[in-house]
A and B are shown apart, each in its own frame.
Chain A
């Protein structure tokens, strides 16, 4: 019995080894398994003719019609992990890997592409075999996605990061966008989400119907965080037009980082004058502010500091010309005060300038434009017959005249009404198109002829 057993064992061994060696030469021939021979990139054991590392003959006869002489040496992933390190230990595992279905992607004998795949660098055909193609066929596509280089960002087996990413989102993005990373390090102001959050907070990494791979078009994207601003933009009566145009927020703000506060490319004035430097902006055209400021001797206080926002709200407002407070659109306006003393007509100007200038018929304090104590600002602006707005005498932005009094005069339809304002140590005079020449003196009041 003993002899019989030994004989059986040795016979089997001889049969097994002798047959395996014979497979190597005979499995892939023009008659048998010819397709394997045509594969471009063969699995290394196949290349080495080592079929038995995966296949085991169970029945002597081969081929058997309607049956199988060979079976795999192990099932599913266990077969592959006989040679390859087992996968699926990390936090996120690709479902086919988890299920041990390596052959969902890989060709066991070899493929036309690398890694036993039947795809090359463009892996979209393979990946989209399972994944819905719609998100990857958008008007604006991320470069690697457009090319189908899914594994540029994703690990096809497993990852410690969500979505099988090869690393943390920011690192992954900045690995390619290296110039951007360098510039951001040197930037004076960085948008906080760019500094801390993943790029995917704003961008869709695959593709979008909106430019710049933005998850939503601006300003909808921006107001997702800037909630108060969103509410304001939805409600303002006078919006800033660029916000409703394609560039939207990006028209003024850099979205990632910038040289100046507010993610602006420079000081406020420079940014504003980037557009307001032409006679052809809007219908009817807005003033060419750049031209209005150029070479002027006197600038309005905020403009001297390079600021426009103390008066204008760049996001829009309920007031004429996006002003931050009320200011009449018309040349003449009756001055009004609320019951509680709140300024209604010149809220804008009187936020900085003392409101008392328009409160009292007589003063020695709140204005130098007075004849004796008679408050001539009150006479011109509050006077019941015709309230003249500030712009009748003062230029809002710049002038060659002291106190921003316009040298060229105020535009009155087709005519510029001259002011001919002169100033003296104790008063001054006007010879405007409005009335006869009149002087005023704070110390020795002028007596006017009636």
Chain B
């Protein structure tokens, strides 16, 4: 029987925990500089071998590095500003590429670019060029040349910024009244896949001209079609993964537009989906599905078999709150390794956006590390086979 995912946010429990923590801190430190050391949070929890660890989070510029100043980042045209703490507003999408993290700050009408190496957190707002003014960006992607593509459904188009952060072009306003581009991705061939939540298709666009080449996701058979799609990812072989809220499934298509498979389905058991939002695929073909309904991230293999989940509520740290966008990267692993528990070797880093929960000290961007605990290897496949033969 499938294991049920714990979904209890437990407001009462949170209050109790907060009270206990407060009393303890006061007793030990006289209410001065509360520093609570929390044990590393692993997924799955002990005694299972850990595969994911919650590392840290980003809520504002002080979380990024010692340099708290804004500006000084090549993609930006913000100019010199005073020392201020730049808080991340309510955000939705996130995309990590070339060592930088791009956050679609929907309510702030900006794309925030975080450079963890330089320790900067800055905004692209389109300032200086009204054509680049963002209204409510929800998702972003970056192509091989460093151009940034922003899905802004409030503007009803896709805005493109060059690597210097200047407005380059915009397109998509001619896609029809019902079109609502909510996510974007670049295919290995260089096409821009624009996910249209309004009409339930993936629009394959020429990334230079915005010209529509074809659409993916529209079939006579409803079970193959998209309805209220929310997130898109493309793997290195060009396969397209879409989170589809309409049937609570993750849909897989090929670049010809053929429907390949769908998995998930409404429910609260492991592997089910309620409100699938962001999606990412790593180099090993693992599929990461963010579920705002279940409040966690599920990892599937290429066949759609659930491998594990993480970020569920009720943890000392590392819980998600109404998560949305997700991105997986191997960039700057050394930088994040210092947050990992001794012996836990990172292989990739996962960024997940929390839309809410800051009052519970849940960061805007939760950062997890996928890796392995050194010395704790999985049993060899051969010995498993040998054991099964003896039965």
Task: Tell whether, in the assembled complex, residue A363 and residue B256 are in contact, meaning their CB atoms are under 8 Å apart.
Answer: yes
Task: Tell whether, in the assembled complex, residue A363 and residue B389 are in contact, meaning their CB atoms are under 8 Å apart.
Answer: no
A347 at the interface (CB under 8 A from B): no
A-B contact count (CB 8 A): 26
Give the number of residues in B that approach A within 8 Å (Cβ atoms): 10
Closest to A361 in B: B258
A365 at the interface (CB under 8 A from B): yes
A7 at the interface (CB under 8 A from B): no
A23 at the interface (CB under 8 A from B): no
Residues of A near B391 (CB, < 8 A) are: 227-228
Interface 1/0 per residue, B230-265 and A, CB below 8 Å: 000000001000000000000000111010100000
A43 at the interface (CB under 8 A from B): no
**Secondary structure at chain B's binding surface: helix, strand, loop or mixed?**
loop
Task: Tell whether, in the assembled complex, residue A360 and residue B256 are in contact, meaning their CB atoms are under 8 Å apart.
Answer: yes
Residues of A near B389 (CB, < 8 A) are: 226, 228-229
Interface 1/0 per residue, A225-253 and B, CB below 8 Å: 11111000000000000000000000000
User: In the assembled complex, how far is the CB of residue A88 from the closest CB belonging to chain B, in whole angstroms?
Assistant: 41
Residues of B near A226 (CB, < 8 A) are: 389
Closest to B258 in A: A360
Closest to A360 in B: B258
Residues of A near B390 (CB, < 8 A) are: 225, 227
Closest to A366 in B: B254
Please, how many angstroms separate the alpha-carbon atoms of A225 and B238 in the complex?
48
Task: Tell whether, in the assembled complex, residue A356 and residue B260 are in contact, meaning their CB atoms are under 8 Å apart.
Answer: yes
Please, how many angstroms separate the alpha-carbon atoms of A433 and B316 in the complex?
73
Task: Tell whether, in the assembled complex, residue B260 and residue A365 are in contact, meaning their CB atoms are under 8 Å apart.
Answer: no
Interface 1/0 per residue, A349-368 and B, CB below 8 Å: 00000001001101111100
Closest to B237 in A: A365
Please, how many angstroms separate the alpha-carbon atoms of A365 and B255 in the complex?
8
Residues of B near A321 (CB, < 8 A) are: none
Please, how many angstroms separate the alpha-carbon atoms of A373 and B389 in the complex?
46
User: In the assembled complex, how far is the CB of residue B376 from the closest CB belonging to chain A, in whole angstroms?
Assistant: 27
Residues of B near A359 (CB, < 8 A) are: 258
A interface, size bucket:
10 to 19
User: In the assembled complex, how far is the CB of residue A372 from the closest CB belonging to chain B, in whole angstroms?
Assistant: 12
Please, how many angstroms separate the alpha-carbon atoms of A225 and B390 in the complex?
7
User: In the assembled complex, how far is the CB of residue A261 from the closest CB belonging to chain B, in whole angstroms?
Assistant: 11
Which of B238, B389, B391 has the most chain A CB atoms closer than 10 A to its own CB?
B389
Which of B254, B388, B390, B391 has the most chain A CB atoms closer than 10 A to its own CB?
B254
Complex interface residues of chain B between 333 and 360 (CB less than 8 A to chain A): none
Instruction: Report which of A356, A362, A365 forms a contact with B238, defined as CB distance below 8 A.
Output: A365
Please, how many angstroms separate the alpha-carbon atoms of A364 and B191 in the complex?
15
User: In the assembled complex, how far is the CB of residue B384 from the closest CB belonging to chain A, in whole angstroms?
Assistant: 14
Interface 1/0 per residue, A330-363 and B, CB below 8 Å: 0000000000000000000000000010011011
Residues of A near B258 (CB, < 8 A) are: 356, 359-360, 363
Closest to A192 in B: B386
Residues of B near A360 (CB, < 8 A) are: 256, 258
Please, how many angstroms separate the alpha-carbon atoms of A225 and B258 in the complex?
48
Please, how many angstroms separate the alpha-carbon atoms of A365 and B391 in the complex?
42
Residues of B near A363 (CB, < 8 A) are: 254, 256, 258
Please, how many angstroms separate the alpha-carbon atoms of A437 and B390 in the complex?
56
* Contacts A226-B389, A228-B389, A228-B391 given; does A364 touch B260 at CB 8 Å: no
Closest to B254 in A: A365
User: In the assembled complex, how far is the CB of residue A195 from the closest CB belonging to chain B, in whole angstroms?
Assistant: 14
Please, how many angstroms separate the alpha-carbon atoms of A363 and B255 in the complex?
9
Please, how many angstroms separate the alpha-carbon atoms of A356 and B239 in the complex?
13
Please, how many angstroms separate the alpha-carbon atoms of A362 and B214 in the complex?
14
Residues of A near B260 (CB, < 8 A) are: 356
Please, how many angstroms separate the alpha-carbon atoms of A228 and B390 in the complex?
8
Interface 1/0 per residue, A23-36 and B, CB below 8 Å: 00000000000000
Residues of A near B238 (CB, < 8 A) are: 365
User: In the assembled complex, how far is the CB of residue B51 from the closest CB belonging to chain A, in whole angstroms?
Assistant: 28
Please, how many angstroms separate the alpha-carbon atoms of A225 and B386 in the complex?
12
Please, how many angstroms separate the alpha-carbon atoms of A383 and B389 in the complex?
41
Residues of A near B388 (CB, < 8 A) are: 228
User: In the assembled complex, how far is the CB of residue B179 from the closest CB belonging to chain A, in whole angstroms?
Assistant: 26
Instruction: Report which of A225, A227, A228, A365 forms a contact with B256, defined as CB distance below 8 A.
Output: A365
User: In the assembled complex, how far is the CB of residue A190 from the closest CB belonging to chain B, in whole angstroms?
Assistant: 15
Please, how many angstroms separate the alpha-carbon atoms of A373 and B238 in the complex?
17
Which of B258, B260, B388, B389 has the most chain A CB atoms closer than 10 A to its own CB?
B258
User: In the assembled complex, how far is the CB of residue A246 from the closest CB belonging to chain B, in whole angstroms?
Assistant: 26
Residues of B near A364 (CB, < 8 A) are: 255-256
Complex interface residues of chain B between 86 and 138 (CB less than 8 A to chain A): none
Please, how many angstroms separate the alpha-carbon atoms of A105 and B325 in the complex?
91
Please, how many angstroms separate the alpha-carbon atoms of A72 and B5 in the complex?
89
Residues of B near A362 (CB, < 8 A) are: 256
Please, how many angstroms separate the alpha-carbon atoms of A356 and B391 in the complex?
36
Residues of A near B256 (CB, < 8 A) are: 360, 362-365, 373
Q: Which residues of B contact A (CB under 8 A)?
A: 238, 254-256, 258, 260, 388-391
Per CB-CB distance, the 6 closest pairs between chain A and chain B, nearest first, are A360-B258, A364-B256, A363-B256, A228-B389, A365-B254, A365-B256
- With A226-B389, A228-B391, A373-B256 given, can you name 12 additional A-B contacts, CB distance below 8 Å? A227-B390, A227-B391, A228-B389, A356-B258, A359-B258, A362-B256, A363-B256, A363-B258, A365-B238, A365-B254, A365-B255, A366-B254
14 contacts between A and B (CB under 8 A): A226-B389, A228-B389, A229-B389, A356-B254, A356-B260, A360-B256, A363-B254, A364-B255, A364-B256, A365-B238, A365-B255, A365-B256, A366-B254, A373-B256
